[in-house]
Amino acid sequence: MPSPRVLGLVLAGGAGKRLSPLTADRAKPAVPFGGLYRLIDFVLSNLVNAGYLRIAVLTQYKSHSLDRHITTTWRMSNLLGNYITPVPAQQRLGPRWFAGSADAIHQSLNLVYDDDPDIVVVFGADHVYRMDPRQMVAQHVASGAGVTVAGLRVPRAEAGGFGVIQTGPDGRTIEAFLEKPTDPPGLPDSPDEVFASMGNYVFSTDVLIDALRKDAADEDSRHDMGGDIIPMLVAQRTAAVYDFAANDVPGTTGRDHGYWRDVGTLDSYFEAHMDLCALDPVFNLYNRQWPIFTSVPSLPPAKFVHDDPLRTGSAVNSIVSNGVIVSGGTVRSSVLSPGVRVNSWSEIDRAVLLDNAVVGRGAVVRDAILDKSVQVSPGAQVGVDKERDRARGFTVSPGGITVVGKGLTVID
C-alpha cells in the first residue's frame, strides 16, 4: 500500500508564562535549550527524521525570534514540494486572535485544504524528547481510529499533574479523558501506571475537520485540543492511545529510551539541562542515527586557558558550546551556550548560561539560569543567597533556581 500523505501542524503559540522571565522577550518554543538548540528543534527534528517534510508551525505570542529561527534554519527543498513555514494568526475568520489550540487549527484550515493530506499530525512545540512518529501513524492507519493520542506511562501517584487517558479493556481504545485526577484507574497491563497525554495527536483529515467545525460552533467550548476536541472524539468512540514506550527510535540506549520532558516550568527546564550533564546522559544528544538539528553559529571552538594551581580553566560534567572561553574559572555540571565567557577565579556550579553571558572574576553562579547577555560583575554572587536574589528583583523558582533575565547586570 502507498504511504499516506502526511501534513505536520506544530502548535507553537503558547505564551509560556511559567517560564518567565525566559519568555519575557520570546515565545516558549523559541527558548534556548541544551547550548545550541531551541525547544522547537526537538519536534521538528522528530518529524524531519521521519520523512515528514511538509510542516506548518502555528505561532502567535512574541513570535519574532521563533519565526526568524524557523525561516533561517529549517529550509526544505521547494523543488520537491517540501516546506517548514511559520504561520502567524491571520484573522481569517474575523478580527480575533487564536482562542485556543483547536481554534488555531480551525483558523488555519486553509493549510489543510491546500495540502490535501490523508493524515494530519498535530504535535506540540515545547517538549524535549525523541520519537519516531511513523510508528504512531502506522498504528493509527491500521486501527481505523479517527484520532490517536500519544500516551506516556507514569505512576498512578503522579497522575494528578497530567491529563490522563483512561483506556478500555483492550488497552488501546480511549474511554475517558481525565484532567489531573486524584485516583485514576490503572492500565489493564499495569495497574500501578496510567497514560498521561503527551499532547501529540494523529488525525484522519476528515475527522479533524469535522471535529473542528463542531467545536467552533460551540459557544461554551474553550477551543482546546486536549480539553475539547479529544473528549468529543472519545465520546464518539473513535479515539485510541499510542503507547510511547513502544516507540523504537534508532540509536537510543536503554537509559534514554522513552525520555520525554515537559519543560513548562523553570524547575523542569533546569532539571532537563542537568539530565544532559550526567556522565551517562539521561537524554543523549549524541545519537547520530536520530540527530537533533539546529543552526550552529559561526563561532570558533571553545577554549580553556590558564594552567595554574590557583587559576585553571576547567569544565567537568558540563556541556560547552562553540565560542565559549573559560579563562581561569571552574565549571561543574553546567551548560554553557555559544559566546559565554567565564573569567578567572569564578565558579559555575549547576548552572545554565545562555548566549553571550559573561561571568566576571571571582564571581559565583550556583543553581541558576542566566539568560542571554547577562553580565555578572567581578566578585558578585548569583544563586548563593536566595533571599538576596529576590531582593535584587531576580526570579527564584519553587525548587530554588535563581533566574536572571535577559541583558541584566548583576552587581555585588
Annotated binding site for alpha-D-glucose 1-phosphate: 163, 179-180, 197
Does residue 301 have a cis peptide bond before it, meaning omega lies within 30 degrees of 0?
A: no
Measured CA to CA, the distance from residue 271 to residue 265 in angstroms comes to: 10
Task: Look at the alpha carbons of 104, 261, 194, 142 in this order and tell me if their dihedral is positive or negative.
Answer: positive
Helix (H) or strand (E) holding 47: helix 40-49
> Do 38 and 169 touch, CB atoms closer than 8 A?
no
Task: Please enumerate, by residue number, every residue annotated as part of a binding site.
Answer: 163, 179-180, 197
> Do 250 and 232 touch, CB atoms closer than 8 A?
no
> Do 86 and 9 touch, CB atoms closer than 8 A?
no
Closest listed residue to residue 225, CA positions, set 279, 163, 276, 273: 163
Measured CA to CA, the distance from residue 103 to residue 92 in angstroms comes to: 11
> Do 366 and 332 touch, CB atoms closer than 8 A?
no
Place of cell 475539547: 228
355: exposed, middle or buried (Cβ count in 10 Å: 0-12, 13-18, 19+):
buried
Place of cell 566576571: 360
Q: What is the DSSP letter of 187?
A: B
Looking only at the bridges linking them, the beta strands covering 375-376 and 311-312 are unpaired
Residue 242 carries which side chain, given as an amino acid letter? Y
Looking only at the bridges linking them, the beta strands covering 330-332 and 347-353 are parallel
> Do 228 and 215 touch, CB atoms closer than 8 A?
yes
**77 CB neighbour count, 10 Å cutoff:** 9
